[in-house]
Structure 1
């Protein structure tokens, strides 16, 4: 099973690296964590790729630690259908909904 997950995460990484080359940077040969750091330095934290790279990095680390598929918030198992849809998913359905609700509220309060 771990091999299949690594394959799926590798496919996500390939797609993200392709998108990174479109940013016209010299980051393509860097590690995912180095690209994330470079995006912070270039003030690209709000770029859609930034969140996707962070999710990929987290999923790869969780897989290495034997924690892949565990919700980052409540530590319950993430529903298999959610992981099948997005192998970088970090939250179970319940926590994802709560996070989205809180994030929307934070956006309203900051404007």
Structure 2
């Protein structure tokens, strides 16, 4: 699966990425809808309600940021799929385990390199 020389496998990956993109776009639409509703439609009645609405807006904003980041990762995965680099670790160049790609289709690193990167990041904090 990693090299995706089989057109059927490549098509399956494309379909999975497209399905996930549709899910994310739907989620993003839901996140932004609350943010663009006029204040009078939100029926904020007192300071407590305003505080709750503000917290919800902050949560929606954070969720939207995560969705946008995942959409970028999906687009990058599509690019790698098209240029033939999908399924190869960007750190060591080895093939990424197909089970890892199934679980994390936008991953760019094999499990070993990902673990090494995470340990290095933890040490730098």
Query: TM-score normalized by structure 1?
Result: 0.69
Residues 20, 88 of structure 1: alpha-carbon distance in 2 compared, 3 angstrom cutoff: same
- Residue 54 and residue 100 in structure 1: after superposition, are their counterparts in 2 closer, same or farther (change >3 A)? farther
Structure possessing the higher radius of gyration over alpha carbons: 2
Q: Aligned to 1:55, which of 67, 70, 73?
A: 73
Structure 2 counterpart of 1:18: 26
Give the gaps of 5 or more residues in structure 1.
Answer: 26-43
**Could you say which structure has the greater relative contact order, defined with CA pairs below 8 angstroms and 6 or more residues apart?**
2
Partner of 1:100: 118
The Cα of 1:17 is off from its aligned counterpart by 0.7
The aligned counterpart of 1:5 is: 13
Given that 1:59 and 1:88 are in contact with CA atoms closer than 8 Å, whether structure 2 keeps it comes out as yes
- Secondary structure at the counterpart of residue 31 of structure 2: coil
Name the CA shift for 1:67/1:51 in 2 (closer, same or farther; >3 Å): same
List structure 1 segments (4+ residues) > 6 angstroms apart after TM superposition.
Answer: none
Specify whether residues 20 and 66 from structure 1 end up closer, same or farther in structure 2 by C-alpha distance, changes over 3 A only.
same
Greater helix proportion? 2
Count matched residues. Answer: 89
CA RMSD, aligned part only? 2.2
In 1, distance between residues paired with 2:122 and 2:30? 30
